[in-house]
C-alpha cells in the first residue's frame, strides 16, 4: 500500500504497533517467568496484561478503519525481542539479581518503542480529528509510561543495588 496521506500513515503505524505488541507479548511472559524478584515478576505480569489490552484496543481501532490489523510486520520490535531473549533469557548469569537487572533493561527498551509509537499515533489521530481513537491511544500511551516508571522504581529501589 502506498502511503499518500496522514491517514495512510496512521493506519500503517497502527498496524506496526499492533505487530510490535503481538511480538512483545510472548517475550514479556517469558521475562516474567525468568524474573526472581517478586515485584519485578508482578510488574511483568501486569505488563503482559497491559500489552494484551493494547492489542485489543488496536484491533478495534484498525478494524474500525476497514483495515487488517496484521497488515504490517514490525521489524524494530522483532530486533528488540531477539535482543531480550539473547541478553536476558539465554545469557548465563552468576546471580539472579544481575539477570533481573538485565530483564528490566530489555523490557524498558521494548516499552520505549511502544511509547514512541503510541505518542505518534495520538498526534496523528488528534490531527485527523479522530477523538475517540486519540483517547483510546492516549490510554495505551499512559499505561506504557506507567509500566516504564514502575520498572525504573524496581530497578532503583533495589534490583540494581542487589546486582551490584
Q: Is residue 97 part of a domain?
A: yes
Q: Is residue 30 part of a domain?
A: yes
- The mean pLDDT of 23-33, rounded to a whole number, is 97
Q: How many domains does the chain have?
A: 1
**Residue 123 pLDDT more than 80?**
yes
The model's pTM: 0.94
Q: What is the pLDDT of residue 91?
A: 94
Domain of 42: which CATH number?
Answer: 1.20.1260.10
Q: Residue 13 sits in which domain range?
A: 6-163
Q: Is residue 44 part of a domain?
A: yes
Q: Is residue 1 part of a domain?
A: no
Question: 162, exposed or middle or buried, with CB in 10 Å at 0-12, 13-18, 19+?
Answer: middle
- % residues pLDDT > 70 (the chain): 99
Q: What is the pLDDT of residue 1?
A: 64
- The mean pLDDT of 34-61, rounded to a whole number, is 97
Q: Is residue 65 part of a domain?
A: yes
CB 114 within 8 A of CB 21: yes
Amino acid at each position: 500500500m502506498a502511503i499518500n496521506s496522514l491517514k495512510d500513515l496512521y493506519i500503517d503505524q497502527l498496524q506496526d504497533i499492533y505487530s510490535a505488541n503481538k511480538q512483545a507479548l510472548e517475550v514479556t511472559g517469558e521475562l516474567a517467568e525468568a524474573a526472581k524478584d517478586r515485584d519485578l515478576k508482578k510488574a511483568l505480569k501486569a505488563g503482559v496484561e497491559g500489552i494484551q489490552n493494547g492489542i485489543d484496543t488496536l484491533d478495534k481501532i484498525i478494524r474500525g478503519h476497514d483495515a487488517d490489523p496484521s497488515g504490517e510486520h514490525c521489524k524494530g520490535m522483532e530486533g528488540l525481542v531477539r535482543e531480550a531473549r539473547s541478553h536476558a533469557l539465554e545469557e548465563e548469569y552468576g546471580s539472579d539479581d544481575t539477570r533481573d537487572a538485565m530483564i528490566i533493561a530489555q523490557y524498558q527498551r521494548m516499552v520505549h518503542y511502544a511509547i514512541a509509537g503510541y505518542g505518534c499515533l495520538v498526534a496523528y489521530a488528534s490531527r485527523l480529528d479522530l477523538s475517540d481513537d486519540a483517547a483510546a491511544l492516549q490510554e495505551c500511551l499512559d499505561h506504557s509510561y506507567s509500566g516504564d516508571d514502575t520498572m525504573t522504581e524496581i530497578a532503583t529501589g533495589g534490583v540494581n543495588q542487589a546486582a551490584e
